[in-house]
Structure 1
Amino acid sequence: MSLVRFLARPMLASSFVIAGLDKLKNADDTAKQLSPLLRRAAETLPFATDEKMLARVIGGTQVGAGALLALGKCSRISATLLAGISALNTFVEYRSADISTKEGRIARRSRLLKNLSLTGGVLLAAVDTAGRPSLAWRAEHLAMDAKKATGKQLKKTDRAVRKAVDHAVGA
């Protein structure tokens, strides 16, 4: 792991771990923020949703995925989870922010930009292969190499068959 990744992953993950711990401690406040979103989603979801439990799940996921990202273990999956949670948090915080005063609107915009920046950071971490090719790239190139090898073998076999036929007919 490069020095940049060694330093950047824990720095990026720290915000999510702290926010996750805060959500776990203050599940009631988070549930209150999630309530309007869940009321609309409850119409389409086939199961009842418990806001407090969802707040705890989100907090626990943030802590777990943030810790894994910081340690560099399953970092792409962890970063993908954090990107989804970050997008959800961005939406919920933006909708629930106080905009009755100018300071409130400025604070809402500042939090929006911070959350968008964090989402962008974990999206970059989600596609970071640490200098190694992804599984999709490896599979694609393995297939191309196999196709080339098969093509060469077919040409070689074709030449051998033609030579054998010419030899048998000419004999």
Structure 2
Amino acid sequence: MLASFFVWDGVDTLRNTDQHVEETENMLARLRKVLPREYASFVPNDPELVARGLAGARVGAGSLLALGKAPRTSAAVLAGTTLPALVGANAFWSADSEKEKNDGRNALITNTALLGALFITAQDLEGKPSLGWRAKKAGERTSKKVQAALPTKSETQNLTGKATDWFEDTTDRVTSYVDDHKDDWQDTGKELLHTAKSYVDEARSYVDDNKDDWQKAGKGLIANVRDTAKDYGDSARGFVNNNAGDWLDAAQDNAKTARKAVVKNASKAQDKADKALNKAEKSSGRSMKKWNKKAGKFQKEADKKIAKAIKKVGKNI
């Protein structure tokens, strides 16, 4: 009976949409005025499309409600289609004639009554318990099962007593064992300390007895190393000074050796010194002194790089 009004109204709107366009357009305009500015922009601008959409929703939800299929959901949908009309379409106070005001007032009261009936239908559980009640009962059953699985007070006390007795007995055993053996442990520790002290004293005596000999031996070793290094350095410097040019010429003649980086660097440095010396020989006066000074400087650099090359490559090529 409740669904019949919405089904008939939806069918009539679908069949005669043109007759409801003006009414829907007025409803949309009033909704834009009632709603806040940030929400008014979401109101559709096509009244014909809105009228057909609301009518289709009323026919579908009304049919399901009449058949008893998903009655709560169907009632909620019908309430949603009725609420905009209740807010926007029944502004009877703005009518021009008394008859229009009475008709608008009656329509508002009718829609309000239908909306109330839909709210009641949407809340009807048909004798079935609500979700809140079922959740509460499920929680109570779970709590009972948990309590049944937990040990009782007497069982807890028994377990606590057993644990206490075990800890006390174990503590007594450990304390007794420590008391019985602490003297032996102290004697063993003292013996270890005495042995370690004797080892330290022997090591200190050995160092005191031999340190003078070690110092003499060390000084002699350092002197020998210093003399050997000096002799080797003098020999190396003499070889470089006496044979640097011949060695560099031999290294340059050897194709494999000439490709080595140290030999290339030595060759470049020697060429630089030779060019400076050649310019000094061709100059005179202050210019000759200048180029002689540069030639000496470049030759020292060349000798260092040749010595480095000899060390890297070897004396004999």
Same fold (TM > 0.5): yes
1:125 deviates by 0.2
1:29 matches 2:24: no
CA deviation string 1:114-161 (max 9, x = no partner): 11110000110000000001223212321233234324543x356534
1-structure distance, mates of 2:18, 2:144: 61
Question: Runs of 5+ in structure 2 lacking a partner?
Answer: 167-317
Which structure ranks higher in relative contact order (CA pairs < 8 Å, sequence separation ≥ 6)?
1
Any conservation in 1 of the 2:6–2:62 contact (CA below 8 Å)? yes
The answer (yes or no) to whether the contact 2:92–2:105 under 8 Å persists in 1 is no
Aligned counterpart for 1:78 among listed residues 70, 74, 79: 74
Aligned pairs, how many? Answer: 159
C-alpha separation between the residues in 1 aligned to 2:105 and 2:92?
12
> Which residue type is aligned with residue 163 of structure 1?
N
What TM-score, normalized to structure 2? 0.44
Alignment of 1:100-115 (within 5 A): 100-115=96-111
Q: Deviations over 1:40-97 (max 9, x none)?
A: 278522x864321221110011011111111111100110111121122222330379
Letter in 2 for 1:44: S
1:20 corresponds to 2:20: no
Question: Per the alignment, in what secondary structure is the counterpart of residue 131 of structure 1?
Answer: coil
Paired with 2:120 and 2:97, the residues of 1 have a C-alpha distance of 35
Runs of 5+ in structure 1 lacking a partner? 1-10
Match of 2:158 in 1: 163
From 65, 68, 93, the counterpart of 2:89: 93
Paired position in structure 2 for 1:4 = none
Alpha-carbon shift at residue 167 of structure 1 (Å): 4.5
| Aligned-pair Cα RMSD in Å | 2.7
The one of 136, 139, 158 aligned to 1:140: 136
SS in 2 for 1:113: helix
Give the superposition deviation at 1:25. 1.5
Structure 1 residues 37, 137: closer, same or farther in 2, change over 3 A?
Answer: same
Give the letter for the 2:28 counterpart. L
Larger Rg computed on CA atoms = 2
Offset of residue 38 of structure 1: 3.4
Distance of 1:53 and 1:159 partners within structure 2: 74
Shift of 1:103: 1.8
Q: Which residue of 1 aligns with 2:64?
A: 68
- Listed one character per residue, the Cα deviations across residues 22-45 of structure 1 (whole Å, up to 9, x for unaligned) are 121222333322224435278522
> Runs (4+) of structure 1 moved beyond 4 Å?
167-171
* TM superposition score normalised by structure 1: 0.77
Q: Aligned equivalents of 2:63 and 2:104: distance in 1? A: 27
How far residue 110 of structure 1 moved from its aligned partner, in angstroms, is 1.1
Going from structure 1 to structure 2, the CA distance change for 1:120 and 1:163 (only over 3 Å counts) comes to same
3-state DSSP of counterpart to 2:125: coil
- Describe the SS at the equivalent of 1:130: coil
Contact 2:91/2:104 (8 A) holds in 1: no
Aligned-residue sequence identity (percent) comes to 32
